Structure 1
């Protein structure tokens, strides 16, 4: 590939991105997409995974038998209710720490595995496809 054609492509892309960043509708779509992306990642990491692990592990350990799971958990819950408030607070703080650590663990991996897709980049991709079609004779085959 020749450098001038590649430089022209990226210069046009940068110019278009600067232009499209000033459009209020696209800016509004960007902030909405950021909010939805963060909300999904947080709900998925702190809502689904800790709850799934909290119910799936006892279910597996009870050999997928809900009766065995209930008979194992009822004495634990009775001991919790009959314990003094200090022991209850310690148990609740331990559960909160476990919940948060599982949530943050999955949140980090969720951010890595599902990166944010910017509406600006989408707009630039669409524009550059049409720009490539218009300037096809000036660009090398692999751009």
Structure 2
């Protein structure tokens, strides 16, 4: 949808901001207090998303494929590349949740201590509500 696409594009901005050292040193520390809790909130699956995800993973009625039961180190290179796709969820869609996770990861690489000090209490608060 249109709003979701705008949100994902905004989140990609925060991933790309890591390239601008001056911004990261001067302005980023001032906005982390506001930004990090928003990103953490966007990581949370809605009840509907969770149900759909569980349904997608439920393949008990399907026969196991060789790649499903082999140890990870036996898989070929193509399997590894397929699993490493950071931009696709189970349906091959770049979701708001993935964009949020990528943005948070980028910010944590730039300002690890600051991000951790803000993100950990926000994550704990979300976990306490579960």
What TM-score does the superposition give when structure 2 sets the normalisation length?
0.31
Structure number, greater radius of gyration: 1
The TM-score normalised by the length of structure 1 is 0.29
Higher helix share: 1
